[in-house]
Structure 1
């Protein structure tokens, strides 16, 4: 008896339709031993990734987060690049969560970050943190780095003032990387490496599709080139049979190779790469925003100049280097830095992965789900920061310590706070000290700010730097 092909086709089509319907239902309604936080999983496979990366020309909360907070509250679910994610802007829950590392959650990296920052570096976090604090922490800053920073900033601004104009963000990347390179391997960063790091940042928040022409593909190519440069540095140092002691971070690592089995060449290369990365982008972005905010807020600039003029007047030699005690006396300067960091929201958030089901506010975050602590939702919280989009350094006089610990975390929080946090503050404060006591500046081009979701300056921040105070 002949088979009715139309019947077979109809039957197969029905099965496919049922399967697709069921698959879409499961996509929109993931399994959960309880009630999921409210939200949407978006389109199959891509989730809500497109909505997340839509640019916004504002320092305000990214529209993706702002609109969903209004609709769902401070904790909601979404899906990014095919991965279920919980986004939280709840200060109390975030504070709790960041103290549960290794218990309820562990540190997690987005796919692009995981490819660029190898998991090997995470297996030895304690060593990496201690090493970083040894060479970039308070004792190193107080003992040797601060005068070196002061001299470096003086040279940098002198060079900038000789030019028609400078793009502050990119030039600051070069400054930060060159200085960090001297501490890490006693050398200037190879030519164009600062440009590579700048392009690398652009690709880190891209959709993880590794095909030619995509930002992700470009990011991985740049990462490979930079690592090759770092590997060449390490290989030459390891082959150097002389007993010359440089006292840099690479010397320290090579000495530790005899006792730490995980210190292979790949680990060393990745560690050096990571340190150069974290000491470049946040500092350069903060400095670029500081130029803009100070120019737009003359009363803030006036008080900042007064504080630094007072420091210079108290010195026996006005041209002497900045001291640690002088840095610690910069109360208003540190308020200015805090306010730039608060408004800048340079890091879009911190990521954790649930090690077990986590109950919160009557909902359940399933084991294995990613949790994004959205710092912008904390830094721009109107309950704790009145008129949150206003640049107001004086607000930091009244903010309570509890609010700071729960709602202000530009460098992380608690034991997981970035080991280079104080290093970044000191370098920025030193730069501002030299800038406001010896130079004036005016924007000649650019100034546009875009979030997508990281902060970018598409036209750059081009300034004319001139000798002589504002």
Structure 2
């Protein structure tokens, strides 16, 4: 009897050992109709996620990527949050694959981002939704509205907000920029100026999203969801108020229309299957978040670098003072021709974007096996395209960690197409790219022509893997006396 029980336990232990061994083997050697890129899949279930989220105190590439590029080359495999991922820093391959939207790849969002913006996976909404959204954004944030009205509106708002900074003993640039951007964007999206502290709630939300999606009290993700609910409550209320008395007949008297992004979306509810009264508040929130949490660190980083580089700041100031000198009316505001003439300003913006790399990369889902350099990236995998590895590559940009706006004098459009991708590339570049650049240029113009910034404290930079300023960056702001 004892021997029989012993044999049973030996069988169970052997069976479990073999099963676990096979499971670990399959984890480390995923199925592939070809040869997988080099790399490691990490530990079962968690992969290499912990290494991916390690905090790095540097503007340089995150160590997770840097170490693997040196070990495996420009294309390697890994596993993040339980999903197999191929990471690419090859400029030729990245340029090619980003042209293959809908053929080899499709847009993909991290699970934590999908859960934050909407309960459904945003990737499942399909390419038609993405094209619709891009067209709508361009109609309200693109070249024509910027040229027609937004340029002057941005100048007025930024001038007003920065003037308020002069009443504060010190200003955390990122923290104070967030509500300013939130107010600007919510006005364009839905003609509504919310309470200030709601904008502040979105500060550093992207860093909370780029964590394990564990909805447990005390976790960063839990706090992120609580803040999201507050924002969704607002956008839902705005939608409901707008729809009261809304007429789909443009000729109707007293119809509740503003001519903004929300009007366009409401007009398409019922026409487009993906637009529902439940989804629109999440859409508005996602656009607000994307604007606030990508532009605010850019403004902060540009301010830091310029204050640390007096010669660049002087050159920038001279360019904008020349704009003022050439005006017939010294009190008039910026016009489009003046914006287009800001050559050195564009250099400053490009150099800031090159060094910044707020997000760790661009995520795409592979929808058909991709063959590259003898390797195969299987269907169903996630592709992480790494602009950071291009932007900080010493073979592409000399002394890449140095802020040097003048380097852009000698960089042509061909070099920028493949080696400079701050707003994505291929068939799906960021629809808000021009808006972001104009807003940055206007901020710099207002600063150097009307105000003086003096660094007070802070300025430490981390990547975890989102770019952040853990100690803030504080300046003293005073009015220039002409």
Interval of TM-score (by shorter of Structure 1 and Structure 2): over 0.9
Deviation at 1:199, TM superposition (A): 4.3
The match for 1:59 is: 59
How many angstroms does 1:323 deviate by?
A: 0.4
- Checking the alignment, whether the CA contact within 8 Å between 2:320 and 2:448 is kept in structure 1 is yes
Note if contact 2:269-2:277 (Cα within 8 Å) is conserved in structure 1.
Answer: no
Q: CA deviation at 1:190?
A: 3.0
The verdict on how the C-alpha distance between 1:332 and 1:356 changes in structure 2, with shifts beyond 3 A counting, is same
Are 2:433 and 1:421 aligned? yes
The verdict on how the C-alpha distance between 1:406 and 1:246 changes in structure 2, with shifts beyond 3 A counting, is same
Q: Is the counterpart of residue 163 in structure 1 residue 163 in structure 2?
A: no
Q: Which residue pairs with 1:299 in the alignment?
A: 311
Is 1:347–1:375's contact at 8 Å kept on the other side of the alignment? no
Range 163-172 or range 270-279, more displaced: 270-279
Question: In structure 2, how many angstroms separate the alpha carbons of the residues matched to 1:379 and 1:101?
Answer: 23
How far has the Cα of 1:121 moved from its partner? 5.8
CA distance in 1, matches of 2:368, 2:464: 31
1:433 & 1:462 partners in 2: Cα distance? 20
Alignment of structure 1 residues 293-372 onto 2, 5 Å: 293-372=305-384
Once the two structures are TM-superposed, the CA of residue 2 in structure 1 deviates from its matched residue by 6.3
- Asked if 1:147 corresponds to 2:152, the answer is yes
Aligned to 2:84: 84
Task: Tell me the CA shift for residue 167 of structure 1.
Answer: 0.8
Q: Does 1:31 align with 2:20?
A: no
CA distance in 2, matches of 1:134, 1:315: 30
Q: Counterpart of 1:279 in 2: which secondary structure?
A: helix
Unpaired runs of at least 5, structure 1 = none
Please say which of residues 276-285 and 81-90 is displaced more in the overlay.
276-285
Alpha carbons of structure 1 residues 403 and 160: separation in structure 2 relative to 1, 3 Å:
same
Aligned length: 470
Q: Deviations over 1:334-372 (max 9, x none)?
A: 110000000001121101111121111111111111010
Partner SS, residue 280 of structure 1: helix
Q: In the alignment, which residue of structure 2 is the partner of 1:410?
A: 422
Q: Does residue 442 in structure 1 map to residue 454 in structure 2?
A: yes
* TM-score, normalised via structure 2 length: 0.94
Task: Kindly indicate whether residue 466 of structure 2 is the aligned counterpart of residue 461 of structure 1.
Answer: no
1:356 counterpart SS class: coil
Q: Give SS of 2:202's match.
A: helix
Correspondence for 2:186 among 181, 189, 200:
181
Displacement of 1:88? 0.6
Task: Tell me the distance in 1 between the aligned counterparts of 2:261 and 2:409.
Answer: 37
Q: What's the offset of the Cα at 1:396? A: 0.8
**How far off its partner does 1:3 sit?**
5.9
> Does the aligned pair in 2 maintain the 1:356–1:367 contact within 8 Å?
yes
Q: 2:279 aligns with which of 254, 262, 267?
A: 267
Q: Deviations over 1:64-86 (max 9, x none)?
A: 10000000001000011111101
Q: Which structure 2 segments of 5+ residues have no match?
A: 247-253
Aligned to 2:251: none
Which residue of structure 2 lines up, in the alignment, with residue 68 of structure 1?
68
**Offset of 1:259 from its aligned partner?**
4.0
Report matched runs for 1:89-168 at 5 Å.
89-118=89-118, 119=122, 122=126, 123-168=128-173
For residues 339 and 6 of structure 1, do their structure 2 counterparts lie closer, same or farther at Cα, with a shift above 3 Å needed? same
Distance 1:313 1:422 in 2: 26
Does the aligned pair in 2 maintain the 1:199–1:219 contact within 8 Å?
no
Q: Any conservation in 2 of the 1:121–1:267 contact (CA below 8 Å)?
A: no
Q: Secondary structure of 1:265's match?
A: coil
When structure 1 is superposed on structure 2, of 86-95 and 435-444 the one drifting more is 435-444
- Asked if 1:11 corresponds to 2:22, the answer is no
Partner SS state of residue 76, structure 1: strand
Sort the Cα spacing of 1:308 and 1:106 in 2 relative to 1 into closer, same or farther, 3 A.
same
Q: Report what 2:221 is aligned to.
A: 216
Are the aligned partners of 1:53 and 1:452 in contact in 2 as well (CA < 8 Å)?
A: yes
Tell me how far apart the structure 1 counterparts of residues 97 and 116 of structure 2 sit (CA, whole Å). 25
Q: Distance in 1 between matches of 2:73 and 2:4?
A: 55
Pair 17,270 (structure 1): closer, same or farther in 2 beyond 3 Å: same
**How far did residue 101 of structure 1 move?**
0.7
Deviates more, 1:328-337 or 1:208-217: 208-217
Does residue 282 of the first structure (1) align with residue 287 of the second (2)? Answer: no
- TM superposition shift of 1:210: 2.8
> 1:436, 1:469 within 8 Å by CA — same for their partners in 2?
no
Query: Displacement, 1:469?
Result: 7.6
Selected match of 2:442 from 430, 433, 441? 430
Whether the 8 Å CA contact 2:242–2:257 is kept in 1: the answer is no
Kindly indicate whether the alpha-carbon contact (under 8 Å) linking 2:38 and 2:77 is maintained by their aligned counterparts in 1: yes
